Amino acid sequence: QAGLTQPPSVSKGLRQTATLTCTGNINNVGYQGAAWLQQHQGHPPKLLSYRNNNRPSEISGRFSASRSGNTASLTITGLQPEDEADYYCSAWDSSLRGWVFGGGTKLTVL
């Protein structure tokens, strides 16, 4: 199953803004957009956003998602120490008839 492309790591300073990217194709990200998940070590993933910028009510407004063509982005403003985690994007692939994931981006807050 062809995956989505995410940068392996991103480092930003405390209270700065980080933008994570996720590149797919017209059959997945370009089809219905992406979901974004946050995973802290030893814990299950947590949904941050789905179909571009639909955010569960309990998720902070510091997290916002968008899409341009076949690339989805997750922007995290006012970085906090607890934002240090792995971030995954995922999208339904209409051609493969399944979900595809990105390899994940490890976000380090300096």
Partner 1 sequence: QVHLVESGGGVVQPGRSLRLSCAASGFTFSSYAMQWVRQAPGKGLEWVAVISFDGNKEYYADSVKGRFTISRDNSKNTLYLQMNSLRIEDTAVYYCAREDPTPFDYWGQGTLVTVSS
**Chain positions contacting partner 1, by CB under 8 A:** 1, 35, 37, 39, 44-47, 50, 54, 56, 86, 88, 90, 92, 96-104
The token duo for 21 is 């990217």
When the beta carbons of 13 and 56 are compared against partner 1, the nearer one is 56
C-alpha span between 70 and 16 (Å, rounded): 26
CB of 65 to partner 1, least distance (A): 13
CB of 14 to partner 1, least distance (A): 26
Whether residue 85 contacts residue 40, with contact meaning beta carbons closer than 8 Å, is answered with: yes
Which residues, in sequence order, are CB contacts of 38 under 8 Å at separation 6+?
45, 46, 48, 85, 86, 87
When the beta carbons of 11 and 54 are compared against partner 1, the nearer one is 54
